[in-house]
């Protein structure tokens, strides 16, 4: 084990004492009832959220968005535009809350930092050779340090899915611990890429592994694969953070990312949060949406509630 | 059964009329239906009673389809619209029956209506690649420029179909809108929506991309209000609105400067002219520099 163990001096410290104890713990987690999980997620998705509750949910969702651009073609101009949008999502209505953060590649952190300066919007940076994570640990750590040095408030790391699927849990654990250390005061989000983990059981194991290793947030996906955040896998992770807090007293955030495009979807996720983890998570310190196009739909819905008229894409920015 | 044979009477196959939105046939989001009767008050079918959310979904579908449809070549649009006429021809019997029921016409009068409708569709299909020559062209200007005007479709057009002429009137307002490259959200005649809903089935099998025409049935006033106020609808044809409703909708439509075609008395059996084609066209004018004129006096 690396010298700096996770901060948690909690009930589960023994679990990470050795490779075999970690494996025993993760495989001892109860199996996931896949049908039950999906049915539960689907039934919570049928709640009808209207009028004032809807207005509250939309504003809350806007304040939880990590406005993201992770393209090879990102330019400083695009990042600045994104920053401006994060600070004033709807320039025609200054009562619109700011988004939680902008999420960019490490080399764009400085630009993003400047764009959101003084607004309270955080800058998150993906690191550790996002999205594949297929490089040596030294390179990953250098990537993280680079982003932190440039001023990133939050780091989104990817786990080594190859090692995880091969059953080398300790390697994944050690990596997260090392990255957490490199983050310093920056909050660490750990991306599992749930679409590549194949089973719900694996998602549950990964969630616990990430939390044991000191993640501040657990995040579903990179947005770069076919299957991204779904209500079911987010529900599973919300159950994990709930149970983790019950056992250790440590609260950990959840961030579904990718594939959430409409206000309706976002509100469904908020229902999941409220009904699973509870109200304590209904805050952008503990729950985020990794999204880009979602924000425009939220703004159009917000305009609809304010004016009574359906809005259209002509009235939000093209990004 | 009059004779003692083994044949049993066939059970009737009732048709569930559905909306046509985005190339699919959904029921109303609200789950509501209303009874449609023939001219004498006899029950014909239940039609979906659309809500404002159906209208919103239809606008989203129409907007999504606009890029590809307006970008298709005029010739291609003409071919597809002609294909629609071919499909209509194949469903003649059904439309004759539906029009006869809806408007209380004799079979021969209804057949004449359907023929006129199909001819109308063919007529508009022919206009797709000719309208640009009529309303566009090169403009003589005093300067070294080519100056060209070309007609461009307006965008998403909400069409309130005429209340009385359930099929000929419907096609007379829908075909010109899509012929020029617009996409349409059509609100069918309130008391005779069945021919319009069946037209959706024809459009779905005619290579017309999904979302170019979306057909909603229900209370015209209820569906038209959100369409008129919708910020993403570019124009509205008020053919099926009465005077009070038309005024109300025109006020709502002013908010995002929609183009509005006011209701006017129309004889749908007469040759329509190109007014409805040009009502939803905008003119793009391009100034193209030709460069300085050469020694020979002309650079082109």
Residue A314 to residue B232, Cβ atoms within 8 A: yes
Mean pLDDT across chain B, nearest whole number? 93
Identify from B232, B253, B255 which residue to disrupt to test chain A contact, counting A C-beta atoms within 10 A and taking the largest count.
B232
Identify all chain B residues contacting A311, using CB atoms and an 8 Å cutoff: 231-232
CA distance B236 to B254: 11
Residues with Cβ within 8 Å of B182's Cβ and at least 6 positions away in sequence, in order, are B66, B69, B70, B153, B154, B155, B156, B157, B235, B280
Q: Is A268 in the active site?
A: no
Q: For the beta carbon of residue A147, count every other beta carbon within 10 angstroms.
A: 30
Residues A149-155 have a mean pLDDT of 97
Q: Is residue B11 part of a domain?
A: no
Mean pLDDT across A77-104:
96
**Considering the domain boundaries, does residue B47 fall inside one?**
no
Q: Is B238 helix (H, G, I), strand (E, B) or coil?
A: coil
- A156 catalytic residue (yes or no): yes
Closest by CA to A208, choosing from A172, A257, A163, is: A172
DSSP bridge partners of B145: B289
Q: How far is B226 from chain A (nearest CA, A)?
A: 7
Residue A50 annotated as catalytic: no
Q: How far is A87 from chain B (nearest CA, A)?
A: 25
Alpha-carbon gap, residue A296 to B71, rounded angstroms: 25
B231 touches A: beta carbon within 8 Å: yes
pLDDT, mean of residues A74-93: 95
Mean pLDDT across A21-27? 95
A309 to B255: CB separation less than 8 angstroms, yes or no: yes
Residues on chain A touching B51 (C-beta within 8 angstroms) = none
Rounded to whole angstroms, the Cα distance separating B223 from A62 reads 30
Residue A6's pLDDT band, with cuts at 50, 70 and 90, is: very low
Furthest CA-CA distance within chain A: 60
**Tell me: the pLDDT tens digits for B108-162?**
999 999 999 999 999 999 999 999 999 999 999 998 888 999 999 999 999 999 9
pLDDT band at A3 (very low <50, low <70, confident <90, very high): very low
* DSSP of A164-191: HHTT-HHHHHHHHHHHHHHHTTSEEEEE
- Please tell me the distance from the alpha carbon of residue A173 to that of residue A158, in angstroms, as a whole number: 12
| Residue position matching structure tokens 């009562």 | A95
CA distance A259 to chain B (A): 18
For residue A313, which residues of chain B lie inside 8 Å, CB to CB?
63, 232
**Average model confidence (pLDDT) across chain A:** 93
| Closest chain B residue to the Cα of A314, Cα to Cα | B232
Category of B153 on φ-ψ map: left (φ > 0), alpha (ψ -120 to 50) or beta: beta
| A chain contacts of residue B63, beta-carbon cutoff 8 Å | 312-313
Nearest one of B118, B63, B58, B49 to B90, comparing CA atoms: B118
**Is B188 among the domain residues?**
yes
CATH number of B266's domain: 3.40.605.10
| B46 assigned to some structural domain | no
Asked whether residue B14 is domain-assigned, the answer is no
Rounded percentage of chain A residues whose pLDDT exceeds 70: 97
Cβ within 8 Å of residue A235, ≥6 positions away: A37, A40, A41, A44, A272, A276
Element (H, E) at B36: strand B33-37
**A234: DSSP letter:** H
Count of structural domains, chain B: 1
Residue B157 domain boundaries: 52-289
| Residue A67 C-alpha from the chain's centroid | 11
Considering the domain boundaries, does residue B25 fall inside one? no
Residue A30 carries which DSSP code? P
Domain A23-307, CATH homologous superfamily name and number? Aldolase class I (3.20.20.70)
In a domain, B58, yes or no: yes
> Whose CA is closest to B230, among B204, B268, B256, B207?
B256
**Mean pLDDT across the stretch A108-136?**
95
The DSSP bridge partners found for residue B185 are B158, B214
Beta bridge partners of A53: none
Across-strand partners of A290? A66, A257
pTM assigned to the model:
0.88
Please name the helix (run of DSSP H) or strand (run of DSSP E) that holds residue A163, with its range, or none. helix A161-165
Name residues of chain B where pLDDT drops below 50: 1, 300
Residue A158 pairs in a beta bridge with A191
Identified catalytic residue from A122, A219, A268, A297: A219
**Distance, CA of A233 to CA of A254 (rounded, Å):** 11
Q: What is the ipTM of this complex?
A: 0.82
Minimal CA–CA distance to A125: which of A100, A97, A144, A99? A144
Going by pLDDT thresholds of 50, 70 and 90, the confidence category of residue A13 is: confident
Residue of B nearest to A311 (CA): B231
């Amino acid at each position: 084990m690396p010298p700096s163990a996770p901060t948690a001096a909690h009930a589960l410290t023994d679990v990470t004492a050795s490779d075999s104890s970690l494996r025993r713990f993760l495989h001892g987690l109860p199996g996931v009832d896949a049908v039950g999980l999906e049915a539960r997620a689907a039934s919570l998705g049928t709640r009808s959220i209207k009028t004032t509750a809807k207005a509250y949910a939309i504003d809350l969702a806007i304040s939880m968005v990590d406005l993201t651009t992770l393209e090879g073609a990102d330019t400083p101009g695009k990042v600045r535009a994104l920053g401006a949008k994060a600070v004033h999502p709807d320039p025609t209505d200054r009562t619109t809350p700011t988004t939680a953060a902008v999420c960019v590649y490490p080399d764009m952190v400085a630009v993003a930092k400047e764009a959101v300066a003084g607004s309270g919007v955080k800058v998150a940076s993906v690191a550790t050779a996002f999205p594949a994570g297929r490089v040596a640990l030294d390179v990953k750590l250098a990537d993280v340090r680079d982003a932190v040095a440039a001023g990133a408030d939050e780091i989104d790391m990817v786990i080594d899915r190859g090692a995880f699927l091969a059953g080398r849990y300790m390697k994944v654990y050690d990596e997260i611990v090392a990255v957490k250390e490199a983050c310093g005061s920056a909050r660490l989000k750990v991306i599992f890429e749930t679409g590549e983990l194949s089973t719900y059981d694996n998602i549950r194991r990964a969630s616990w592994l990430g939390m044991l290793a000191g993640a501040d947030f657990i995040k579903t996906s990179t947005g770069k694969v076919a299957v991204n955040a779904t209500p079911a896998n987010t529900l599973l992770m919300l159950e994990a953070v709930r149970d983790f807090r019950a056992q250790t007293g440590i609260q950990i955030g959840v961030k579904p990312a990718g594939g959430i495009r409409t206000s309706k979807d976002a509100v469904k996720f908020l229902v999941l949060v409220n009904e699973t983890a509870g109200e304590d998570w209904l805050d952008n310190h503990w729950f985020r949406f990794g999204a880009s196009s979602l924000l425009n739909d939220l703004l159009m819905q917000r305009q609809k509630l304010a004016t009574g008229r359906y809005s259209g894409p002509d009235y939000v920015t093209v990004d | 059964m009059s004779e003692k044979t083994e044949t049993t009477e066939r059970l009737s196959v009732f048709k569930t009329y559905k909306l046509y939105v985005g190339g699919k046939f959904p029921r109303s989001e609200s789950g509501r239906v209303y009874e449609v009767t023939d001219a004498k008050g006899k029950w014909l079918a239940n039609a979906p009673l659309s809500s404002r959310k159906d209208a919103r979904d239809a606008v989203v579908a129409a907007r999504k389809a606009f890029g590809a449809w307006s970008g298709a070549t005029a010739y291609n649009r003409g071919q597809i619209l002609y294909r629609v006429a071919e499909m209509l021809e194949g469903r003649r019997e059904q439309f004759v029956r539906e029009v006869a029921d809806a408007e209380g016409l004799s079979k021969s009068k209804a057949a004449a209506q359907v023929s006129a409708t199909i001819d109308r569709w063919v007529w508009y299909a022919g206009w797709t690649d000719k309208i640009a020559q009529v309303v566009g062209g090169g403009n003589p200007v005093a300067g070294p420029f080519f100056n060209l005007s070309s007609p461009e479709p307006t965008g998403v057009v909400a069409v309130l179909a005429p209340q009385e002429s359930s099929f000929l009137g419907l096609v007379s307002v829908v075909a010109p809108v899509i012929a020029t490259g617009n996409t349409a959200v059509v609100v069918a005649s309130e008391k005779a929506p069945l021919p319009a809903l069946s037209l959706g089935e024809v459009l779905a099998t005619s290579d017309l991309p999904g979302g170019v025409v979306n057909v909603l049935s229900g209370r015209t006033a209820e569906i038209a209000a959100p369409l008129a106020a919708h910020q993403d609808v570019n124009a509205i044809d008020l053919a099926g609105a009465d005077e009070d409703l038309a005024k109300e909708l025109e006020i709502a439509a002013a908010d995002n400067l929609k183009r509005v075609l006011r209701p006017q008395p129309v004889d749908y059996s007469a040759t329509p002219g190109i007014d409805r084609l040009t009502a939803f066209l905008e003119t793009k004018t391009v100034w193209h520099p030709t460069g300085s004129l050469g020694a020979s006096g002309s650079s082109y």
